Amino acid sequence: MAKRVPPKEPERKLGFGTVSMDILSDILTNLNNRNKSNLENVSYRFGNLKDRKIVEYVFHLCAELGLDPVVGYYAIEILNRFMAKYLEDLILRQKRQPTKGAPCKETGDYKNLIYQTLKEKFFVLILSSVQIASKLDLHSNVVNNNIAMNFLQRVSYPCSKEKLLDSEIFILKTLNFNLNVPNALSYVETLLEVLGHNDPTAPVAQLHRLCVHVLQFIYLQREAIYNSLLISATGSPSPSYEQRAKFVSVTEDFMLLGVGVIAVAAFIHHISTWEKVVDELTGVTGISGQSIKDFAYVTLMHITEIKPV
């Protein structure tokens, strides 16, 4: 039997340099405001629920369905917010109706609680998140129920169309139909567009190709990279619970992630000009050059598998 070749991800046709600075300024302001709002409402209680295996599966699923990579990042954020909101509601119900055993807030095992209560639905919930995400991106085909059912049949996963629809509605209702979620790739691409406008000599197209791979790497190595950043910031190999709680705002800062990704790509592309790129990113975002370099340094150490010092 011939070996099945995984489908290639669709190539994005991005026209850098075609958007006016006025429009770019509005887009960047909007992204910045959304980022600030997100950080103000970030859940310090639950921390990061973006498990590597889930991220891997979402990326693979998007590739299988021939979706634009940006859909994967939307899906991850939708699923993450759904899990956080579901967990919050679940704990509130536990408080009202005490059950045997230690409550979740004492055990701190939030991920395990979610997987235990949703394990029979989790596979379909991931697919539903991708379905919802595909409807938010103008560059991708919508994954309707027929396409989703065909995929489930290909992987021999038993699920009725009714259950598939219920899963999508379950996510939407849990999120109160609020799908205004940030997208890491959108931040990167907008910042690249501004970078190219401010400096026409910047190799934006080449940087974009590198950024796509760097961003995916960071998502797959998210826990390790941010843990290294936390240790570097606190100077402690074993940060306290309070320090970890405060650091959640760093892990959810999409503007910092965007400039960090571009800085890493610039370093890989041409080390002699990367500081110029960092300076430009500082001017655009207000994020200090040192913060950008720290993020890039830790990420590069993980890429090269050198232990950060």
Question: Could you tell me if 248 and 293 lie in one domain?
Answer: yes
Cα separation, 182 vs 38, in Å, equals 8
Domain for residue 308, yes or no? no
Domain for residue 179, yes or no? no
Question: Could you tell me if 201 and 99 lie in one domain?
Answer: no
Tokens of 152: 């489930």
Instruction: Residue 166: give its domain's CATH number.
Output: 1.10.472
Q: What is the pLDDT of residue 122?
A: 87
Question: Could you tell me if 143 and 236 lie in one domain?
Answer: no
Question: Could you tell me if 155 and 222 lie in one domain?
Answer: no
The full length of the chain comes to: 309
Domain for residue 27, yes or no? no
Domain for residue 257, yes or no? yes
Cα separation, 270 vs 188, in Å, equals 18
Confidence check: pLDDT of 5 > 50: no
Tokens of 179: 């799908």
Residue 205 contacts residue 113 (beta carbons within 8 Å): no
- Residue 120: pLDDT band by 50, 70, 90 thresholds? confident
Cα separation, 132 vs 148, in Å, equals 11
Which of these three, 135, 154, 174, is where a domain ends?
174
Question: Could you tell me if 250 and 211 lie in one domain?
Answer: yes
Residue 106 contacts residue 45 (beta carbons within 8 Å): no
Q: What is the pLDDT of residue 6?
A: 45
Question: Could you tell me if 248 and 271 lie in one domain?
Answer: yes
Confidence check: pLDDT of 12 > 60: no
As a whole number, mean pLDDT of residues 177-201 equals 92
Question: Could you tell me if 165 and 200 lie in one domain?
Answer: no
Q: What is the pLDDT of residue 13?
A: 54
The total domain count for the chain is: 2
Question: Could you tell me if 137 and 82 lie in one domain?
Answer: yes
As a whole number, mean pLDDT of residues 193-199 equals 92
Q: What is the pLDDT of residue 4?
A: 42
Q: What is the pLDDT of residue 221?
A: 94
Which of these three, 174, 192, 221, is where a domain ends?
174
Confidence check: pLDDT of 108 > 70: no
Question: Could you tell me if 140 and 210 lie in one domain?
Answer: no
Domain for residue 224, yes or no? yes
Domain for residue 151, yes or no? yes
Q: What is the pLDDT of residue 10?
A: 52
Which of these three, 125, 148, 174, is where a domain ends?
174
pLDDT in tens, 259-280: 999 999 999 999 888 999 999 9
Name the one residue in this structure whose structure tokens are 């629920």: 49
- Residue 107: pLDDT band by 50, 70, 90 thresholds? very low
Residue 191 contacts residue 211 (beta carbons within 8 Å): no
Question: Could you tell me if 146 and 63 lie in one domain?
Answer: yes
Domain for residue 286, yes or no? yes
Cα separation, 232 vs 218, in Å, equals 17
Q: Provide the domain limits for residue 219.
A: 184-303
Residue 233 buriedness (CB in 10 A; 0-12 / 13-18 / 19+): middle
Question: Could you tell me if 150 and 261 lie in one domain?
Answer: no
Question: Could you tell me if 100 and 149 lie in one domain?
Answer: yes
User: Out of 14-18, 158-162, 211-215, which region has the weakest mean confidence (pLDDT)?
Assistant: 14-18
Cα separation, 175 vs 153, in Å, equals 28
Mean pLDDT, the chain, whole residue set = 86
Domain for residue 9, yes or no? no
Cα separation, 216 vs 88, in Å, equals 28
What secondary structure, in 3-state letters, does the chain show? CCCCCCCCCCCCCCCCCCCCHHHHHHHHHHHHHHHHHHHHCCCCCCCCCCCHHHHHHHHHHHHHCCCCHHHHHHHHHHHHHHHHHHHHHHHHHHHHCCCCCCCHHHHCCHHHHHHHHHCCCHHHHHHHHHHHHHCCCCCCCCCCHHHHHHHHHHCCCCCCHHHHHHHHHHHHHHCCCCCCCCCHHHHHHHHHHHHHHHCCCCCHHHHHHHHHHHHHHHHHCHHHHHHHHHHHHHCCCCCCHHHHHHHHHHHCCHHHHHHHHHHHHHHHHCHHHHHHHHHHHHHHHCCCHHHHHHHHHHHHHHHCCCCCC
- Residue 3: pLDDT band by 50, 70, 90 thresholds? very low
Q: What is the pLDDT of residue 47?
A: 53
